[in-house]
Amino acid sequence: MSTTGTGEQLKEIVREKYSKIAEQDKELNESSCCGATCGCSTVDFKVMSDDYTTLEGYVADADLGLGCGLPTAFAQIKEGDTVVDLGSGAGNDCFVARSITGDKGKVIGVDFTDKMLEKARINADKLGYKNVEFRKGDIENLPLASNVADVVVSNCVLNLVPNKKQAFAETFRVLKKGGHFSVSDIVLEGELPEGLQKSAEMYAGCVSGAIQKDEYLSIIQQAGFTNISVQKEKRITLPEEILKAYLSPQQIQEFTTGETGIFSITVYAEKPTSCCAPGCCD
C-alpha cells in the first residue's frame, strides 16, 4: 500500500469519527479516548482535555472536550492579530482567540469535517461575530495565502495528520515573518505497545497518530522555525478500562510501570524575520 493511499485512508477514518463526535455532547467526548467511540465511552475520565471554562471568550456550545491542552492561553495573541486555528472543530479556540484580538483582529478556523464546520458557523452566528470565519480545508494544504497569520494555534490535531512535515511546512508558509505558533499535541516517549499503535480507533482518538517527542520537535526545526520551546508538558494516564480494549493484562502491566509514556505538550515556535528557510519569501 502506498504512503499516499495510507494517509488518505487515515484521514477518512478521522473524518468519519469526528463527524460522529460533532453530534455527541462534551461529557461523552471527554470520557471516550479524546472523542473517539472506541468501546470505552462508559469510562468517566477526562483523559486528555484541559479546562477551558475559566478563559475569557469561552463558549460552552463550542467546547466538545476534544483538546489536550490550552494553546490559545499560551499563544501570546495581541489585539488586532490575525489568528489561524488548525482543526478548529466547533470553534472553541477561535472564540477564545477572538476575545483577545477584538474587533480589529481576525480569526480563521480550518477544518475538514463538514459537521464540525456547520456547528462552528452556527456558534459564530449566535455570537454575532463578523471577524471569525471557518474554512473547509486540509492542514497539509491550507486554504490560505502565504504570510497572512500573526499567530497559529492548534489543539490535539496535528498528531492526527499523516504527513506532519507537510503540516508544519504549511504552518510556516501561512505565518508572517516574525509570526509564531502555539500548539498542543500528543507525543510519545518510548515505543507505544503495538495494540495501541495500530488501532484505527485510537488513531482517531489522538494516541496512535502520535510520534516520538524528539521527532516531533525535530520536524518543527526542519520546517524552518526558531526559538522552539515546550511551554507545558503533562503525562497522559489512560484508565485501565481503555487499555483493556487494546492490550493484554501483561502488556498493561508493562506499559503502566515502564518508562514509555503518552504526553501532552504545548509547543511554541517562531517564523524568522529574515528569509533563511524554504517558504520564507513566498
Amino acid at 7: G
Q: Is residue 40 part of a domain?
A: yes
pLDDT band at 237, cuts 50/70/90? confident
Helices 164-174 and 213-222, axial angle in degrees (round to 10): 40
On the question of pLDDT at 172 being above 90, the answer is: yes
On the question of pLDDT at 213 being above 90, the answer is: yes
Strand order in the sheet with 106-111: 132-136, 106-111, 82-86, 149-155, 175-189, 261-270, 226-236
Q: Is residue 100 part of a domain?
A: yes
pLDDT at residue 281, as a whole number: 55
Rama region for 276: left / alpha / beta (φ>0; ψ in -120 to 50; rest) = alpha
Q: Is residue 152 part of a domain?
A: yes
pLDDT at residue 109, as a whole number: 97
On the question of pLDDT at 247 being above 50, the answer is: yes
Element (H, E) at 177: strand 175-189
Q: Judging by beta carbons within 10 Å of its beta carbon (0-12, 13-18, 19+), is residue 208 exposed, middle or buried?
A: buried
Q: Is residue 278 part of a domain?
A: no
Highest-pLDDT range among 101-105, 114-118, 261-265: 101-105
**What's the whole-number average pLDDT of the chain?**
82
pLDDT at residue 227, as a whole number: 98
Q: Is residue 281 part of a domain?
A: no
Element (H, E) at 94: helix 92-101
pLDDT at residue 36, as a whole number: 43
Taking the CA atoms of the chain, what radius of gyration do you get in angstroms? 18
Q: Is residue 280 part of a domain?
A: no
Range of the domain at 171: 3-270
% of the chain with per-residue pLDDT over 90 = 49
Burial 32-71 (b: 16+ CB within 10 A, else e): bbbbbbbebbebeeebbbbebeebebebebbbbbbbbbbb
Element (H, E) at 4: helix 3-21
pLDDT at residue 206, as a whole number: 56
pLDDT at residue 171, as a whole number: 98
Per-residue pLDDT tens over the stretch 17-51: 655 554 555 544 444 444 444 444 433 335 677 88
Helices 114-127 and 3-21, axial angle in degrees (round to 10): 40
- With the CA atoms of 158, 186, 35 and 70 taken in that order, what torsion angle do they form, in degrees rounded to the nearest 10? -80
165 Cβ contact list (under 8 Å, min separation 6): 219, 222, 223
Domain count, the chain: 1
Mean pLDDT of 183-197: 84
pLDDT band at 278, cuts 50/70/90? low
Q: Are 69 and 92 in contact (CB under 8 A)?
A: no
CA atoms within 13 A on the CB side of 182: 19
* Among 70-79, 166-175, 194-203, the least confident range: 194-203
CATH number at residue 34: 3.40.50.150
Residue 41: DSSP 8-state: T
